Every structure is written in structure tokens, then in C-alpha cells.
């Protein structure tokens, strides 16, 4: 009964505390300068849910001022900053009758509350109200209460004895009994936490040291706790990667860079990494907006003064020898935010050799070269990426709506905003705050406006990087933003397209600057692209050039282009026109006469529509990029000059010939595409186009002949001659040493010269539909893809004569479909070549390879074969080396099914239950198959699936299902074989023996 009674009393006490707290309410307001305004930052910072406060301090200190303000507290307050502990100590406010709302917020915003119980603590109802709030936060949010018993015994506080008893006697006369009981209960609960008693220490200095040690320990435990987290969306990986860089061993001070475009979140990532790690250092300093502060009076001097003063926690005017000596004994963490100067570290520190080697300096910058120039190694530069779509939606949701979940009626609109922002946190937050609390029609209106005009705050933030560029770099940026973004052009092409004269050799350096400033992206295969928000910023810069459309340098808006072209408003200011779809409009034959500086033109026309009924008088002489789908012109104007042309694309056009006469200067020409120009009757002499890399004249059905010059261009990388009237390649064709792709589909080719073996860069050969081709010579080992189909005359296929040469091959896709007249020797050689390549790829872990040739049976060398759709795999026999994987074989029956979507599913079976399996998707299947075909497959996913099963089971049953679309296909056979190192080596030895 006694235990039950104690529980009832405790419960009543708790209910009283709760009731009091509910009466007080949870309204919050900013204190007079106590709580800093939270700025909008370009970071994925999620607002805390209603029941979780945002943290602002490390520790809240509750104390009775008259007891300890001028003694113990002064020492504690001085010690906290030295250990990088951000404490809220209310030592300035005038106390009134009620606890300040600012103090409420400070308590809620601190994961630890340090309650210093001194002799007269309980005599202040203000202190007791603070304590009630502290206990509320402990119960509600799991915050830590750390009691310090200074000059009093814990038992006297817990049970209100001695000075505490006297204090409560007075309180009972001034306040109602329920309120006094709440204070008593708060004291009891707080004393239940493990605390520190001053009498256990010889003096205040040792006591202060112990308190800071305990606080640091508890903060360290909270680093990854939700209570101590700002819940930054998508920040986990950046923080983990940067922590790894910080902790990497070094013999000297390490300088780490955080790099990325404007608004991407560099500053807040730096703030978070600083906050998490500052307690590990003797001195810390975070200098924000460094580039702005350098422009203010005093510049470097003021910046240096702030830095040194913050590190030493005292006023410092200059970096004297004594200051250097003192800091050199400290392990320091310094963050310089938004650095633009190439010698920033030298300006502030001179050299870094006087810092301790375990010190760390973090720089954030939009410019990677600035980081390099400030002693940051490339391996120590962390690039901040955009948020993925799910993270972006969470961030936008948390800022756009008051509640913690997205309002479903706004779901599609929210997705549209997220799609517009493309993962940039700044854009998401600005738009969220702009739309918060607005009706749906306002959202829709704002989204419509975004398509025409960027948000000013976003534009201003992004423009800073553009303003740092020089005149040439700004021109390159605008060319990419208004014309080239999305065209997937490589750096090599852009270097020729962007320069305005032969002497302009800075384009490569300019592109590198744009990349370093995070204004463009260059992929691993050297393709240039730009983020949509940066592109919009470029558009707005051009819009501001002039209100007269014809006097703007670049045009991309269809309505504006239509207006300029229809009304002959063009001027020499226009540099580029990009019109994805041309409307049905009639244009003057002089429409381009005034556009003397037009360099780039992209017209996506309408099939069968003639926009130049009177022809075209002239083209600008400086044109460098010309793409015109469904071009209605039969030929270019008489005065047309191709001197500056780099790319010419007239695919699907009505052109009959390109130009009259001979173009004497084609040295800049890199790419010509004329595919499906069905009226094209002749090709010009391309012998002067010595730098031509790509030529595609496929499906030009009326082309009567192919000018021999195209087969002698020794810098060609891609050549498309499908459906062309060509029956032979010259023996000199082997000089095309740079050729990578050769497409001869449905041509009249009869013989491919043996010199093709000299094309050591050739990766793809497509000779499908070459009905007259009789023999296929030995191909270079570089070939990865060989496609042959319906070559009914093909009899002979040659392969390398030695084992060593065959093992150098790189074929991953070899397909002989419907080649019914291949001789027996060729089929044997194909099968052997397949075995070699499959074994090799299985041994080296290639992801995927497929080989197809006419045949009706599973090759003998495969260990398991069946004509059914299931079989048992028994791996119980001991093997000389570990299992590397499996290769697979299927035999297709002849049929007329559409095999374009053929899927092979392999599953395991236990009893009567079929388990989940793996699909093998066979792409590029022909529409019809006239013969039985053997298909050999190396598929890493499927192989890995069975290999994992084989680790636990020496015998298992598998089932094979073949589907063509929704139709099940009955296979004529299925086979597979385990591959290990010994089978691979045995094959090599066997072949070497047979060849010998």
C-alpha cells in the first residue's frame, strides 16, 4: 500500500506540473537582440516540427545572481568560450514578475541546462519558474539537466531543508499552494539527475574544469542525436565526407575546400561541420562573407583582427610574434566562408607552418581555382551537389506549409516547384516562403511567371558568379545558356564554336574558369551542360540588354523569334537564334541580311512547310553552327560560305545539293549530318574538310554516287552510309585510323577490305541488311559491337589466327541474325570466339555480353543442358578454384514473332514454390527470325544471383521463362555453365595446344 501511495503522490505532482505548463502556453517571440534572426540560406534546412524546438545554444545556465555572479559564475562564463561551448547566461535582463519569453526560447533552444543550486536559489520565483520550464523540456524533448550544488547539499535542495526551507516558507505566503507545489516538484525532479557537488573539489578552478569536461562529454554524445540536430535535409553525406577529410592524418595543417554553385548550401554545411567539431579544438573561428568584408574599410586588417580575437577570446589588433607563439600552441579550427581572393590565406596568415599540424582550415568558395590557389589539394575539395527530388520535396514542404506534412491539394503544384528548382536549396526555400499561406491560384500564377521571369532573390544570388567573370568568359557563358545548353556538345567542339577569330585561343581557359566557378558542368566524356537555374539567370541578363528584341544578342523565346523574323527586325546585334519548332510563317528572302554577326542558328522546322517561298538571298558569312530540320531549300544561296562552319545538320531536309561549286575552305568543319534527306542527289567534294569527324549520309535514297573524298578523310570518327549506293570500300580505307563507328546498313557493299584490321579505334561495325556481302575479314581487336542481319550472301567470317590475338579482343555484342549461308568453318570459329570472350568476361567480371549465331544445339562445352524449362544444378563436385560466375545459352526457334522486347527470367525453385529471380533483358532483337539461333549470354546480375545461392547450396533447381512482350516463347534449348579460374586457364592451354 505504501508503494502504491508513493506512486499516486508522484503522479499527482507530475499532473500539477503539466497543468501549470499548459496554462502558461507556448507562445514565443524574439528577445531584444538575444535570439538572432535566422537568415534564408542556400541550404536544405528543414524547419523543426511543432514539438521539437530549433537549437540555438549548447547550454542554458540557470543561477541566482546575487550568490555567484561576481565569483564562481564569472570563472565559468570565461571558461565556456575557451572550450567552444556556446552558453546562454542571462546576466543582463531586468527581472520582472514573469519569466521572459526570450528565456523560454533560450531554454528550449539548449540541449543541456546547467542548474546552479546556491544558498538563495529558491528565494527567487524567477529561478524556480526557469526550473519548471527546464523540467518541462527534459520531459518533453529529452533534454539534459545537469545540477550543480554550489555551497549546498543535494539533500537540502531535494527535500527543501535549511535555506530552501526558509525560502519556501516565504513563497507560501506570497503564492497559492498549487504554484508552490509545482516548484517543490521541479526541485525534486531536477535533483534526481546525476549532478556535481562543489564540496567534492578543492577550489573553484578545479570545479569549473570538471563542469566544462562533463558538458563537452554530454555534447559529444548529442552530436548525432535528433535533439542536437537542425535536421538538415540531405546533409548527412556531406557531413560524413567532410568529417573524414578533417580527421585524415597529416604532418602539416590541412586546408579543406567546400565548393559549389551559388545557393547550393556551402555555408550551412560549413556551419554544421564547424558546430559539430569545434569542441575538439582549443581555438575556433567562423568568418562569414569574407569576400564582402574585404571590401569594407579596413578590409584585411579588420578580418585578421576578428580572427585572432576569436581564437584567443580577447582583443587582438595585429599578428605579433607573441600572438603567433600563443596560437602555434593551440589546435585551431578556422572557417573562411565565401572566399574569392586567390591569396586569401597568405593575406591573413603569411605561411601556415606556424600552426599546429592537427589544426584545420575550411574554405568555402564558388571557384575551385581559388581553393587550389589557397593550398587546397584537389583530393581535399568537396563538391556540394543538388538535392535529389525526394529531399527537395521534403525541404520545400517543411518551409511552405505550417504543419509538418504536405497538404495533398497542393501536391502536384509542389512537385512543379520542386521540378523547377532542380535541387537547389536556395531556390526551394525562397519559393517556399514566397508561396506559404497563399491560395492555389496564386501558386499557379507564380509558377506561370517563373517561366518568363526568375525570382529576384535567386537571380541576385546567382549573378554574383557571373559578375566575377571577364568579358570573354561572360560571352561564353551566355552562348551556352542561350544556345548550347542541352545540345550535348563536347569541349573539343565548343573550343571551335565559341571563338570569334583564329587568334582567339582562350576558349579552353574560359571554359575551365566557368567550370571552376560551378557555372557549367563538364562530364566524364567531356560534354558541357548547365543547371537550369543558371540558364535562366543567363536569359535574364540578355533580356536586360534591350527592350528592342532585334537588338538583343541572343534569341530563344519562340514568340520573340517569330516577331523578329516575321517583321524583319533583325540587326547585327543578334549572335544566336534557337527555335526548336518553327511556326508556319512566310519569311522574306532578305530576313538574314542585317544579321551580319549571326553565329549560331537552330531551326526545328515543320515537315512539308516552305517558309521561304521566294528563296533565300543570303546567309551570314560567319555562321558556325547550322541545324535546320526540314530545311525547304534545294540548295544554299549562291554566295553561301562554309568557311566558318563547324557543325552542319540538315537531317530530314529537302536539300538536293548543299552548295554550288567548290568550297575552298572547309578546315573548321567538324560534323555533317544529312540523314533522311531523301531528295539529296549529290555530295560536294569534302577533300578540303580535313578536320571532319562525323559524316552521316544514311537513308539518302536518291543519292546516285558517293564522292570518293569522304573515304579518304583520315580524321573521321563516325561514318554513316546506310542505304547508300556504295558497293565497295577502297583498299586505302585502312588509313582511317581514328574511325570509331562505321554503319553500312542496307548498303550494296560486297567486299570489306582486309585493311579494316588497321582501324585500331573501331568500336562498332553495323552491316545489317548488306545482302550482297560475301565475306567478313578479320576485324581489329578494338571492336566491341558487330551487328549482322539478313546477310544472305555472307559465307565466310575470319577471326585472329592465334590464341594470343583472340584473347586481346574486346567483343561484347556479336550478332549474326538470319545469316543462313555461313559455312561450317565460320560457324565453328564463331562458336570458339564466343567461348573465349565469354570465359574472359566471366573471369574479369564484365557486366554484360551477348553473342548470337545460327544453330540449333547447345555448345558441348557447357556443363548443364536441357530442352525443358527447368533443370537441377549440382555443384557438389569439388572444384580446383573458387566459382567466378555463370554463362548462359538459349536456342531460339525460327518464328515470326516480334522479339523487340524479349526477356529471359531465371528463378530458383524450392519444392513447389518458385522464388524471386532475375530478368535478362535482351535488347535490339530483330522483328523476325528465319532460322534457329544460338544466343550466348554473360549477365553479371544473373550470374551474381546464382553465385550467391551456390555459396549456401551445392544443389538447386532453376526455371527458365522466355517472354516476347506478353507472349511466352518455347525455347529449343537452355544451357549454362559455372566458370572459375581453372576452366579459364584450361581453355587457354587447350587452344595453345591445338594451335601448336
b (16+ CB within 10 A) / e for 461-478:
bbbebbebbeebbbbbbb
All residues at 6 or more sequence positions from 213 whose CB lies less than 8 Å from its CB, including other chains: none
Q: Is the distance from CB of 342 to CB of 293 less than 8 angstroms?
A: no
How far is C-alpha 312 from the chain's CA centre? 40
- Please give the grid coordinates belonging to residue 16: 500539477
DSSP of 115-131, one letter per residue?
Answer: EEE-TTGGG-HHHHHHH
Distant-in-sequence, close-in-space partners of 36: CB < 8 Å, separation ≥ 6: 56
Distance, CA of 166 to chain centre: 66
- Residue 103 CA to residue 35 CA, distance in Å, equals 10
Distance CA 154, CA 148 (A): 9
613 phi and psi angles, rounded to 5 deg: -60, -25
Q: How many CB atoms lie within 10 A of CB 128?
A: 25
**In sequence order, what are the beta bridge partners of 382?**
258
Long-range contacts of the stretch 497-506 (C-beta < 8 A, 24+): 497/599, 497/600, 497/624, 497/625, 497/646, 497/647, 500/599, 504/472, 506/472
What is the rounded CA–CA span in Å between residue 852 and residue 935?
A: 4
Identify the CA nearest to 950 among candidates 865, 871, 868, 882.
882
Which residues pair with residue 577 across a beta bridge?
555, 601
**H/E segment holding residue 977:** strand 973-980
Distance CA 511, CA 489 (A): 13
- Three-state secondary-structure class, residue 709: helix
* Residue in the block written with cell 536586360: 544
Q: 280 near 291, Cβ under 8 Å?
A: no
Residue 345's closest CA among 252, 210, 427? Answer: 252
CA distances from 838 to 834, 932, 947 (A): 6, 21, 16
Residues 352 and 882: their CA atoms lie apart, in Å, by 53
DSSP state of 200: G
Output b/e per residue, 716-749; b: 16+ Cβ within 10 A: bbbbbbbbbebeebeeebbbbebbbbbbbbbbeb
Core vs surface per residue 496-506: b (16+ CB within 10 A) or e: bbbbeeeeeeb
Catalytically annotated residues = 130
Helix (H, G, I), strand (E, B) or coil at 2: helix
Rounded Cα distance, 345 and 103, in Å:
40
| Per-residue CA distances from 204 to 63, 67, 155, 157 (Å) | 16, 14, 21, 20
Under DSSP, the state recorded for 712 is G
DSSP state of 699: T
Dihedral over alpha carbons 456, 459, 461, 464 (to 10 degrees): -130
Amino acid at each position: 500500500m505504501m508503494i502504491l501511495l508513493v506512486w499516486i503522490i508522484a503522479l499527482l505532482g507530475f499532473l500539477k506540473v503539466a497543468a501549470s505548463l499548459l496554462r502558461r502556453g507556448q507562445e514565443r517571440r524574439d528577445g531584444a537582440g538575444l535570439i538572432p534572426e535566422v537568415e534564408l540560406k542556400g541550404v536544405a534546412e528543414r524547419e523543426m516540427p511543432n514539438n521539437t524546438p530549433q537549437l540555438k545554444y549548447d547550454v542554458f545556465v540557470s543561477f541566482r545572481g546575487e550568490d555567484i555572479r561576481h565569483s564562481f559564475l564569472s570563472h565559468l562564463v570565461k571558461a565556456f568560450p575557451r572550450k567552444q561551448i556556446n552558453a546562454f547566461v542571462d546576466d543582463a535582463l531586468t527581472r520582472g514578475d514573469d519569466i521572459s519569453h526570450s528565456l523560454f526560447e533560450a531554454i528550449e533552444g539548449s540541449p543541456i541546462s546547467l542548474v546552479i543550486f546556491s544558498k538563495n536559489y529558491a528565494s527567487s520565483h524567477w529561478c524556480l519558474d526557469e526550473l519548471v520550464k527546464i523540467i518541462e523540456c527534459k520531459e518533453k524533448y529529452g533534454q539534459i539537466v545537469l545540477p550543480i550544488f554550489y555551497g549546498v547539499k543535494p539533500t537540502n535542495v531535494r527535500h527543501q531543508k535549511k535555506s530552501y526551507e526558509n525560502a519556501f516558507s516565504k513563497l507560501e505566503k506570497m503564492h497559492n499552494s498549487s504554484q508552490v507545489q509545482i516548484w517543490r516538484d521541479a526541485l525534486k525532479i531536477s535533483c534526481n539527475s546525476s549532478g556535481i557537488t562543489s564540496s567534492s573539489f578543492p577550489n573553484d578552478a578545479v570545479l569549473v574544469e570538471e563542469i566544462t569536461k562533463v558538458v563537452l562529454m554530454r555534447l559529444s554524445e548529442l552530436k548525432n542525436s535528433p535533439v542536437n540536430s537542425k535536421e538538415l535535409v540531405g546533409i548527412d553525406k556531406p557531413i560524413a565526407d567532410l568529417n573524414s577529410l578533417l580527421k585524415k592524418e597529416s604532418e602539416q595543417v590541412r586546408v579543406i575546400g567546400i565548393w559549389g554553385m551559388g545557393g547550393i548550401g556551402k555555408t550551412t554545411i560549413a556551419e554544421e561541420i564547424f558546430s559539430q567539431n569545434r569542441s575538439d579544438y582549443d581555438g575556433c573561428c567562423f568568418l562569414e562573407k569574407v569576400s564582402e568584408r574585404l571590401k569594407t574599410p579596413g578590409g584585411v586588417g579588420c578580418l585578421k583582427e576578428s580572427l585572432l580575437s576569436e581564437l584567443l577570446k580577447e582583443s587582438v589588433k595585429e599578428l605579433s610574434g607573441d600572438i603567433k607563439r600563443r596560437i602555434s600552441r593551440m589546435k585551431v579550427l578556422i572557417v573562411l566562408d565565401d572566399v574569392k581572393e586567390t591569396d586569401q590565406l597568405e593575406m591573413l596568415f603569411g605561411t601556415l607552418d606556424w600552426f599546429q599540424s592537427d589544426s584545420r582550415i575550411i574554405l568555402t568558395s564558388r571557384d575551385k581555382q581559388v581553393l587550389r590557389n589557397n593550398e587546397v589539394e584537389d583530393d581535399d575539395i568537396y563538391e556540394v551537389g543538388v538535392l535529389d527530388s525526394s529531399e527537395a520535396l521534403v525541404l520545400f514542404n517543411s518551409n511552405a506549409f505550417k504543419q509538418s506534412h504536405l497538404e495533398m491539394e497542393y501536391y502536384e503544384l509542389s512537385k512543379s516547384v520542386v521540378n523547377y528548382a532542380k535541387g537547389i536549396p536556395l531556390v526551394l526555400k525562397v519559393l517556399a516562403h514566397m508561396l506559404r499561406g497563399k491560395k492555389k491560384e496564386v501558386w499557379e500564377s507564380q509558377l506561370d511567371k517563373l517561366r518568363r521571369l526568375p525570382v529576384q532573390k535567386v537571380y541576385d544570388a546567382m549573378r554574383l558568379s557571373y559578375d566575377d567573370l571577364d568579358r570573354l568568359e561572360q560571352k561564353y557563358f551566355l552562348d551556352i545558356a542561350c544556345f548550347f545548353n542541352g545540345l550535348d556538345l563536347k569541349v573539343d567542339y565548343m573550343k571551335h564554336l565559341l571563338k570569334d577569330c583564329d587568334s582567339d585561343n582562350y576558349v579552353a581557359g574560359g571554359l575551365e574558369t566557368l567550370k571552376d566557378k560551378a557555372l557549367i558542368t563538364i562530364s566524364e566524356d567531356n560534354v558541357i551542360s548547365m543547371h537550369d537555374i543558371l540558364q535562366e539567370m543567363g536569359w535574364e541578363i540578355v533580356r536586360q540588354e534591350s527592350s528592342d528584341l532585334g537588338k538583343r544578342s541572343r534569341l530563344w523565346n519562340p514568340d520573340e523569334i517569330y516577331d523578329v523574323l516575321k517583321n524583319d527586325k533583325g540587326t547585327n546585334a543578334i549572335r544566336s537564334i534557337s527555335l526548336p519548332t518553327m511556326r508556319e510563317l512566310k519569311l522574306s528572302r532578305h530576313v538574314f541580311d542585317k544579321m551580319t554577326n549571326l553565329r549560331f542558328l537552330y531551326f526545328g522546322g515543320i515537315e512539308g512547310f516552305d517558309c521561304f517561298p521566294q528563296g533565300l538571298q543570303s546567309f551570314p558569312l560567319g555562321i558556325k553552327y547550322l541545324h535546320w530540320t526540314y530545311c525547304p531549300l534545294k540548295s544554299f544561296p549562291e554566295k553561301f560560305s562554309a568557311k566558318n562552319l563547324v557543325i552542319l545538320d540538315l537531317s530530314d531536309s529537302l536539300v538536293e545539293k548543299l552548295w554550288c561549286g567548290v568550297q575552298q575552305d572547309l578546315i573548321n568543319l567538324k560534323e555533317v549530318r544529312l540523314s533522311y534527306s531523301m531528295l539529296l542527289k549529290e555530295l560536294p567534294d569534302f577533300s578540303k574538310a580535313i578536320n571532319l569527324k562525323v559524316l552521316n549520309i544514311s537513308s539518302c535514297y536518291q543519292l546516285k554516287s558517293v564522292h570518293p573524298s569522304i573515304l579518304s578523310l583520315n580524321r573521321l570518327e563516325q561514318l554513316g552510309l546506310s542505304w547508300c549506293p556504295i558497293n565497295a570500300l577502297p583498299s586505302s580505307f585502312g588509313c582511317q585510323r581514328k574511325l570509331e563507328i562505321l554503319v553500312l546498313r542496307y548498303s550494296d557493299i560486297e567486299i570489306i577490305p582486309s585493311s579494316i584490321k588497321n582501324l585500331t579505334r573501331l568500336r562498332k561495325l553495323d552491316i545489317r541488311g548488306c545482302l550482297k556481302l560475301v565475306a567478313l575479314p578479320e576485324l581489329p581487336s578494338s571492336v566491341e559491337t558487330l551487328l549482322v542481319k539478313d546477310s544472305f550472301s555472307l559465307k565466310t567470317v575470319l577471326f585472329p589466327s592465334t590464341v594470343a590475338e583472340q584473347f586481346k579482343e574486346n567483343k561484347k555484342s556479336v550478332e549474326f541474325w538470319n545469316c543462313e549461308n555461313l559455312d561450317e568453318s565460320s560457324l565453328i570459329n564463331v562458336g570458339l570466339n564466343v567461348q573465349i570472350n565469354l570465359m574472359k568476361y566471366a573471369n574479369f567480371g564484365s557486366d554484360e555480353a551477348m553473342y548470337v549465331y545460327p544453330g540449333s544445339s547447345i555448345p558441348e562445352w557447357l556443363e548443364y543442358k536441357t530442352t525443358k524449362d527447368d533443370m537441377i544444378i549440382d555443384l557438389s563436385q569439388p572444384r580446383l578454384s573458387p566459382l567466378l560466375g555463370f554463362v548462359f545459352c538459349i536456342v531460339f526457334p525460327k518464328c515470326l514473332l516480334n522479339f523487340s522486347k524479349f526477356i529471359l527470367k531465371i528463378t530458383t525453385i524450392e519444392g513447389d514454390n518458385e522464388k524471386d529471380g532475375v530478368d535478362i533483358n535482351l535488347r535490339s532483337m530483330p522483328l523476325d527470325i528465319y532460322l534457329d539461333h544460338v544466343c550466348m549470354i554473360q549477365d553479371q546480375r544473373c550470374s551474381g544471383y546464382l553465385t550467391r545461392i551456390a555459396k549456401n547450396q551445392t544443389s538447386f533447381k532453376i526455371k527458365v521463362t522466355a517472354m516476347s512482350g506478353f507472349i511466352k516463347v518455347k525455347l529449343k534449348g537452355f544451357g549454362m555453365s559455372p566458370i572459375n579460374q581453372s576452366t579459364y586457364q584450361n581453355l587457354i592451354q587447350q587452344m595453345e595446344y591445338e594451335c601448336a
